[in-house]
Amino acid sequence: MLVAFALQAPTYAYAQDKPVAFIGATIIPIDGEPITNGVLLIQNGRIQAVGDHVAMPADAEQIDARGRFIMPGLVDTHSHLGGGWGGDSSGPIQPACRIYDSINVLDAGLQKAQAGGLTTLNVMPGSGHLLSGQTIYIKLNDGRTIDDLAIRTDDGRIAGGMKMANGTNSQREAPFPGTRAKSAALVRQRFIDALAYREKLKKAESDDGKDPPDRDLALEALGEVLDGKRVVHFHTHRADDILTAIRLSQEFGFKVVLHHVSEAWKVPDEIRKAGVACSVIVIDSPGGK
Above 70 in pLDDT, residue 180? yes
pLDDT band at residue 22 under the 50/70/90 scheme: very high
Spell out the alpha helix ranges (H) of the chain. 108-115, 146-149, 180-206, 217-226, 239-252, 268-274
pLDDT digits (tens, 9 = 90+) for 255-274: 999 999 999 999 999 999 99
Q: Which is the CATH superfamily of the domain at 73-289?
A: Metal-dependent hydrolases (3.20.20.140)
pLDDT > 70 in the chain, percent: 92
Q: Where in the chain is the domain with CATH 3.20.20.140?
A: 73-289
Residue-wise pLDDT for 238-252, tens only, equals 999 999 999 999 999
- pLDDT surpassing 70 at residue 50: yes
Q: Are 287 and 258 within 8 A, CB to CB?
A: no
Torsion of CA 225, 231, 232, 238, to 10 degrees: 140
pLDDT tens, 193-213?
999 999 999 999 988 878 899
Residue 284 has pLDDT above 70, yes or no: no
141-176: b or e for each residue (b if 16 or more CB lie within 10 Å)?
A: eeeeebeebbeeeeeeebbbbbbbbbbebbbeeeeb
68, 36 contact by CB (below 8 A) = no
Mean pLDDT of 22-42: 94
Mean pLDDT of all residues in 78-86: 93
**Interval 136-159 mean pLDDT:** 96
* Structure confidence at residue 237 as a pLDDT band (50, 70, 90): very high
Give 149-179 pLDDT, tens digit per residue.
999 999 999 999 999 999 998 899 999 999 9
The model carries a pTM of 0.84
DSSP 16-69: SSS-EEEEEEEE--SSSS-EEEEEEEEETTEEEEEESS-PPPTT-EEEE-TT-E
Question: How far is the C-alpha of 34 from the C-alpha of 168, rounded, in Å?
Answer: 45
Kindly report, as residue ranges, where domains of CATH 2.30.40.10 are found in the chain.
3-72
Q: Is the pLDDT reported for residue 133 higher than 90?
A: yes
CATH 3.40.30.10 holds for 3-72 = no
